[in-house]
Amino acid sequence: MKTLEKSGRTFLTIREISGPLVFVESVTGVGYGELVEVTTPSGEERTGQVIDVSEDVTIVQVFEGTSDLDTKTTTVRFTGEPIKLPVSMDMLGRVFTGGGKPADGGPSIIPEDYWDIHGYPINPYSRIHPTDFILKRISVIEGVNSLFL
């Protein structure tokens, strides 16, 4: 049986734990929205997301809470991937938790694809340029409209 290797970088440099937030020091090369796996001292894995990055500290929001975490033995692994949701046509008509697990008592889905939960940016050049003027009767907005038409 083939096992999958976990990729990413693991850190033991937790400065502070406050509410659902974990402050990790000396982290470079991570981005906003990156998926994080936090391992408790007992070996339980929890998921989180990078919500702030600065030169000296990276802030991770842990979704399952930070109880039983400590700054000495808790490990934080940055996966280098955004949070992705498994999707399938079998999801239609079903009820799921915010994490994508079935909440209706039905079986787990077999994913056909994985989609980034943040979606994709909209290309501003692909939008249709507005040509019709909409009168709003607010002088400040009406004055600025000429800049966009």
Domain count, the chain: 2
Statement to judge: residues 22 and 61 lie in one domain: yes
pTM: 0.70
Expressed as residue numbers, the domain containing 50 is: 9-82
**Interstrand relation of 57-62 and 113-116 (parallel, antiparallel or unpaired):** unpaired
CA distance 48 to 36: 5
CA distance 28 to 113: 30
Question: CB-based burial of residue 24 (10 Å sphere; 0-12 exposed, 13-18 middle, 19+ buried)?
Answer: buried
Render pLDDT for 40-89 as a digit per residue (tens, 0 to 9).
999 999 999 999 999 999 999 999 999 999 999 999 999 999 989 999 99
At 135, the pLDDT band (50, 70, 90 cuts) reads low
Q: 48 near 22, Cβ under 8 Å?
A: yes
Statement to judge: residues 72 and 87 lie in one domain: no
